[in-house]
């Protein structure tokens, strides 16, 4: 059992079976989440209790390596979590916020060819505690970076390794843990779940966490191209995705964002821009253009700046707000779509991109129930 998987209530029940008074659970919960401490560091607890906690309710959050980039503003952590699963998380400092990008799975089954995580296939789902404990790592690192700030870590995006809505229940639990007022107490509006378009998950997220933001990774605005770039489009084509986003908006009254990786010569032409503009308008979405970050097993590169500008101008001309995202962390393979341990050391033949089977629609639907 991983202590990060427990709510305060569950922890209280557990400690009550050990004969501990109720205030102890609150003390431990506060230590784990708000102080981001290890049991060893919680010296206000009796030693025997600390030892028992470490033995019976471990909190595995081991930093294997950390690397900095962008003059120290970006930090990538390779972390070993709860059950031994290894993932990458990235902490990014901006003038008025600090954002951590967390992983929801080790690898990913969705098979988007341009993405390093997709190239490795799916190894494991993470539990809610394993996902949320990456934020504890970030919380610690953020406090070191900005000791003067009361709450240095402000934002969480589910844009690391994996497809969060293909691991729905654990994603939902992780979000619950991050928002818990007794714990990290993050603002729901500062948490964003990014999805490649797992439609039943979008519907459930709106019901379970209506304040949380949604980013939809679109990358193409017609079904032919999208099914090629993003295989999950074969399960839920654009009209179904558009309807799910409309329903999500109806429940949440929020604006979604559309993520669009700009790939040279594939999805960066005027035709795609002209198709995207009305779709984004109907979705009431903000469009983020991400110049493609290089990945080992994909033969295309990022769109050159002038193509990117032209594309952005057309979409803007259609009345849609557009931002070109920076390429944070690229130099240490920490940028969007680059998370993959030891990508360079893995031979392409081990990654049969394109002929890997997608999970069945029924299985993905069942995962959200």
- Regarding 268 and contact with ligand SAH (CB under 6 A), the answer is no
Compute the half-sphere exposure of residue 254: CA atoms within 13 Å on the CB side of its CA: 19
Task: Name the nearest CA neighbour of 102 among 133, 74, 71.
Answer: 133
- Regarding 245 and contact with ligand SF4 (CB under 6 A), the answer is no
The partner in contact with residue 11, picked from ligand SAH, ligand SF4, none with C-beta cut-offs of 5 to 8 angstroms by kind, is: none
The partner in contact with residue 290, picked from ligand SF4, ligand SAH, none with C-beta cut-offs of 5 to 8 angstroms by kind, is: ligand SAH
The minimum distance between CB 262 and ligand SAH, in angstroms, equals 8
Report how far residue 176's alpha carbon sits from residue 153's, in angstroms, rounded to the nearest whole number: 17
- Regarding 61 and contact with ligand SAH (CB under 6 A), the answer is no
Task: Name the nearest CA neighbour of 199 among 364, 357, 69, 82.
Answer: 364
Applying CB under 6 A, which part among 113-121, 167-175, 205-213, 343-351 lies near ligand SF4? 113-121
Instruction: Report the site for ligand SAH in 326-365 (rule: CB under 6 A).
Output: 336-337
Is position 88 annotated as part of the catalytic site? yes
Task: Name the nearest CA neighbour of 198 among 226, 172, 147, 235.
Answer: 235
Report how far residue 156's alpha carbon sits from residue 4's, in angstroms, rounded to the nearest whole number: 17
Count of residues interacting with ligand SF4 (CB under 6 A) = 11
Which residue in the set 69, 89, 93, 112 belongs to the binding site for ligand SF4 (CB under 6 A)? 112
Angle between helices 238-252 and 199-208 (to 10 degrees): 0
CA separation, residue 355 to residues 129, 234, 358 (Å) = 33, 14, 9
Name which of 2 and 106 has its Cβ closer to ligand SF4.
106
What is the SS3 assignment for 356?
Answer: coil
Report how far residue 153's alpha carbon sits from residue 68's, in angstroms, rounded to the nearest whole number: 17
Is position 115 annotated as part of the catalytic site? no
Binding region for ligand SAH (CB under 6 A): 114-115, 159, 163, 194-196, 217, 259, 261, 290, 292-293, 295, 336-337
Q: What positions carry a catalytic annotation?
A: 88, 336
For ligand SF4, the binding residues (CB under 6 A) are: 108, 110, 112, 115, 117-118, 162-163, 196, 217, 337
């Amino acid at each position: 059992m991983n202590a990060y998987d427990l709510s305060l209530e569950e922890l209280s029940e557990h400690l009550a079976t050990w004969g501990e008074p109720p205030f102890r659970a609150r003390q431990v919960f506060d230590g784990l989440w708000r102080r981001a401490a290890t049991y060893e560091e919680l010296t206000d607890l009796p030693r025997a209790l600390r030892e028992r906690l470490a033995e019976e309710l471990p909190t595995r959050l081991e930093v294997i390596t950390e690397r900095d980039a962008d003059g120290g503003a970006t930090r990538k952590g390779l972390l070993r979590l709860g059950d031994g699963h290894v993932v990458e998380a990235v902490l990014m400092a901006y003038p008025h916020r600090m954002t951590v990008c967390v992983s929801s799975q080790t690898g990913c089954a969705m098979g988007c060819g341009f993405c390093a995580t997709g190239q490795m296939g799916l190894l494991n789902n993470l539990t809610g505690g394993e996902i949320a404990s990456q934020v504890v790592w970030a919380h610690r690192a953020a406090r070191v970076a900005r000791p003067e700030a009361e709450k240095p870590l402000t934002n969480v995006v589910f844009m690391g390794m994996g497809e969060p809505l293909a691991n729905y229940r654990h994603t939902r639990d992780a979000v619950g843990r991050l928002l818990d007022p007794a714990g990290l107490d993050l603002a729901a509006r500062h948490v964003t779940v990014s999805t490649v378009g797992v439609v039943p998950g979008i519907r459930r997220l709106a019901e379970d966490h209506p304040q949380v933001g949604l980013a939809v990774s679109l990358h193409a605005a017609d079904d032919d191209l999208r099914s090629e770039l993003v295989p999950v489009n074969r399960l839920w084509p654009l009209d179904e995705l558009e309807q799910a986003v409309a329903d999500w908006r109806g429940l949440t009254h929020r604006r979604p964002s559309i993520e669009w990786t700009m790939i040279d010569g594939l999805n960066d032409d005027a035709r795609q821009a002209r198709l995207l503009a009305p779709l984004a308008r109907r979705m009431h979405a903000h469009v983020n253009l991400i110049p493609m970050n290089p990945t080992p097993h994909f033969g295309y590169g990022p769109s050159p700046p002038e193509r990117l500008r032209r594309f952005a101008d057309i979409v803007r001309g259609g009345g849609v707000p557009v931002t070109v995202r920076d390429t944070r962390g690229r130099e240490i393979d920490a940028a969007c779509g680059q998370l993959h341990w030891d990508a360079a050391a893995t031979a392409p033949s081990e990654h049969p991109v394109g002929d890997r089977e997608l999970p069945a629609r029924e299985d993905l639907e069942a995962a959200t129930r």
